């Protein structure tokens, strides 16, 4: 930049000098040759100063994310985001002995992400988010401190509780268009708390003290918050790399790998458990998933169990299973399938299991950054025959209230990560 300014200044000097030398005594508005030389010297000094300021202030660019950074690398701000635009077509029984159709578009997710680091030990993330309604809220808002030359770190703020692998998986790196109903019913969503983290080449461990399940963006007096809550999660990498398992597909894999993760959560008295209008004395969850990824195919299977001690002294035991797999036909096209089932408590009035089958395809235009997806979901059973806490309409999944079994939904999505 300094070289270009110097060339421009030199050109100005040549033109100005010629102008000054040919000026008449009567034209006093023109600069003299000495005045032009002084002006050029001032311009060159200003150019050097501006270049020095640019070099000392930092850098900017794109290396997978847009960023601003200091020259010494001590400070960095990443600015990125993603959007998921969908079409749904749903067929179900509306309870009037006739088929009901619902179809239309949905701006399912819009996310802006500001992440980065301050010095080497502090990192952060703030993620404003909007859903189908267009209303903005806050998902992630945390700071993490990495202890020097140590596998230990401490994180605090608002983040995902590490329960159930399908929920922990980033939503822009899912295999299917949307997570399963199992996640809709059992997942922890976001919470506020403090998390101790440990990570090695093959082993990761997390321990969290928090406000409990789904306590994001709540005051400490809110009924959805638990008196106390502890969560622990372990991950073991048997083969491959951790980066391979940052998504649920074998996209870009050059080797095979497998991993196991397991989670345990326990929380105390909660006036409004998960916002479902249920008061519990305690809630306990356990979950585990096995994942395998090859170079062109992948598979995962897992289960989750929940025990609720209700305020009326009764107990509820519910559990669910999920299995999914995918195969790449070539570098761009992937086919996938998923089966999940939720089991109510055996003593419930309506204790029939609820089954869901999903099949679809992904077209990776530019990896996860630009992806077109299509799938069909079949909700096999009548949800009124399954008394499960939290099993209800979820428009992100495409599951709507119904009076009968056999609900179909066709989904299409374009995802852009920038």
Query: Tell me: the pLDDT tens digits for 288-310?
Result: 999 999 999 999 999 999 999 99
pLDDT, greater one: 3 or 51: 51
Residue 347: CB partners within 8 Å, gap ≥ 6? none
pLDDT tens sequence across 184-209: 999 999 999 999 999 999 999 999 99
| C-alpha to C-alpha distance for 192 and 19, rounded to whole angstroms | 71
Residue 182: CB partners within 8 Å, gap ≥ 6? 164, 166, 304, 320, 321, 322, 340, 342
Domain co-membership, 19 together with 88:
no
Q: Are 89 and 410 in contact (CB under 8 A)?
A: yes
> What's the confidence (pLDDT) of residue 96?
62
Share of the chain above pLDDT 70, in %: 87
| Residue range(s) defining the domain that contains residue 393 | 61-417
Domain boundary among 24, 40, 57: 57
In degrees, rounded to 5, the angle at the alpha carbon of residue 393 between the alpha carbons of residues 217 and 290 is: 75
Domain co-membership, 38 together with 138:
no
Q: Are 240 and 258 in contact (CB under 8 A)?
A: yes
Domain co-membership, 305 together with 379:
yes
What's the rounded mean pLDDT across residues 314-327? 97
> What's the confidence (pLDDT) of residue 97?
55
The Cβ of residue 413 has, within 10 Å, a number of other Cβ atoms equal to 23
pLDDT tens sequence across 278-289: 999 999 999 999
Give the torsion sign (CA, 396, 398, 399, 401): positive
| C-alpha to C-alpha distance for 197 and 226, rounded to whole angstroms | 22
Domain co-membership, 12 together with 89:
no
Domain co-membership, 68 together with 210:
yes
Confidence of residue 50 (pLDDT cuts 50, 70, 90): low
Q: What is the DSSP letter of 402?
A: -
CA 402 to chain CA centroid, Å, is: 30
Share of the chain above pLDDT 90, in %: 79
CA 62 to chain CA centroid, Å, is: 20
Domain co-membership, 123 together with 189:
yes
Domain co-membership, 185 together with 47:
no
Rg (CA), the chain: 29
pLDDT tens sequence across 66-99: 999 999 888 999 999 999 999 999 999 866 655 6
Least trusted range by pLDDT, from 4-8, 102-106, 231-235: 4-8
Buried b (16+ CB within 10 A) or exposed e, 89-123: ebbbbeeeeeebeeeeebebbbbbbbbbbeeeeeb
Domain co-membership, 399 together with 371:
yes
Residue position matching structure tokens 């090695």 = 200
Per-residue pLDDT for 25 more than 50? no
Q: What is the DSSP letter of 29?
A: T
Per-residue pLDDT for 327 more than 60? yes
What are the backbone dihedrals phi and psi of residue 43, each rounded to the nearest 5 degrees, phi first?
A: -65, -45
Per-residue pLDDT for 152 more than 70? yes
| C-alpha to C-alpha distance for 176 and 186, rounded to whole angstroms | 18
Closest of 216, 210, 213 to residue 193, by C-alpha:
210
The mean pLDDT of the chain is 90
Domain co-membership, 39 together with 178:
no
Domain co-membership, 321 together with 394:
yes
Least trusted range by pLDDT, from 48-62, 236-250, 341-355: 48-62
pLDDT, greater one: 38 or 101: 101
Domain co-membership, 48 together with 90:
no
| C-alpha to C-alpha distance for 78 and 62, rounded to whole angstroms | 9
DSSP string, 161-228: ---SHHHHS-GGG-SSSS--HHHHHH---EEEEEEEEEE-SSEEEEEEEES-TT-TT--TT-TTSBS-
Q: Are strands 257-267 and 280-293 parallel, antiparallel or unpaired?
A: antiparallel
Count: domains in the chain: 2
> What's the confidence (pLDDT) of residue 42?
74
User: Which CATH number belongs to the domain containing residue 189 in this structure?
Assistant: 2.40.160.10
Domain co-membership, 111 together with 75:
yes
Domain boundary among 57, 80, 100: 57
Confidence of residue 100 (pLDDT cuts 50, 70, 90): confident
């Amino acid at each position: 930049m300094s070289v270009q300014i110097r060339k421009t200044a030199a050109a100005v000097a040549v033109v100005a000098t010629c102008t000054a030398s040919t000026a008449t005594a009567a034209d006093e508005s023109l600069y003299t040759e000495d005045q032009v030389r002084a002006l050029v010297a001032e311009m060159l000094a200003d150019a050097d100063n501006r270049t020095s300021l640019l070099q000392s202030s930092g850098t900017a660019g794109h290396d997978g994310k847009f960023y601003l950074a200091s020259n010494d690398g001590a400070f960095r701000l990443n600015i990125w985001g993603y959007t998921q635009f969908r079409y749904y077509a749903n067929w179900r029984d509306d309870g009037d002995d006739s088929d009901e159709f619902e179809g239309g578009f949905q701006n399912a997710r819009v996310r802006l992400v500001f992440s980065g680091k301050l010095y080497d030990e502090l990192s952060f993330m703030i993620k404003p988010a909007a859903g189908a309604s267009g209303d903005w809220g806050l998902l992630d808002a945390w700071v993490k401190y990495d202890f020097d030359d140590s596998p230990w770190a401490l994180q605090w703020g608002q983040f995902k509780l590490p329960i159930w692998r399908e929920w922990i998986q980033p939503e822009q790196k899912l295999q299917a268009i949307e997570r399963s109903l199992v996640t809709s019913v059992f997942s922890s969503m976001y919470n506020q708390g403090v998390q101790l983290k440990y990570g090695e080449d093959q082993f990761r461990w997390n321990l969290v003290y928090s406000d409990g399940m789904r306590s994001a963006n709540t005051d400490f007096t809110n009924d959805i918050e638990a008196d106390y809550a502890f969560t622990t999660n372990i991950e073991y990498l048997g083969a491959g790399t951790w980066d391979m398992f940052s998504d649920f597909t074998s996209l870009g894999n050059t080797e095979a790998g497998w991993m196991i993760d397991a989670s345990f959560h326990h929380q105390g008295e909660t006036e409004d458990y998960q916002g479902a209008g249920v008061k519990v004395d305690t809630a306990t969850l356990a979950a585990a998933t096995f994942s395998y990824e090859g170079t062109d195919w992948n598979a995962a299977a897992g289960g989750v169990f929940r025990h609720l001690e209700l305020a009326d002294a009764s107990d509820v035991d519910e559990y669910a299973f999920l299995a999914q797999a995918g195969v790449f036909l070539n570098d761009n096209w992937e086919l996938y399938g998923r089966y999940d089932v939720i089991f109510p408590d055996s003593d419930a009035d309506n204790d029939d299991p609820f089954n869901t089958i999903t099949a679809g395809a992904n077209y990776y235009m530019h990896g996860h950054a630009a992806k077109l997806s299509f799938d069909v979901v079949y909700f096999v059973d009548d949800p009124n025959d399954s008394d499960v806490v939290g099993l209800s309409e979820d428009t992100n999944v495409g599951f709507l209230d119904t009076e009968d079994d056999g609900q179909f939904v066709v989904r299409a999505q374009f995802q852009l990560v920038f």
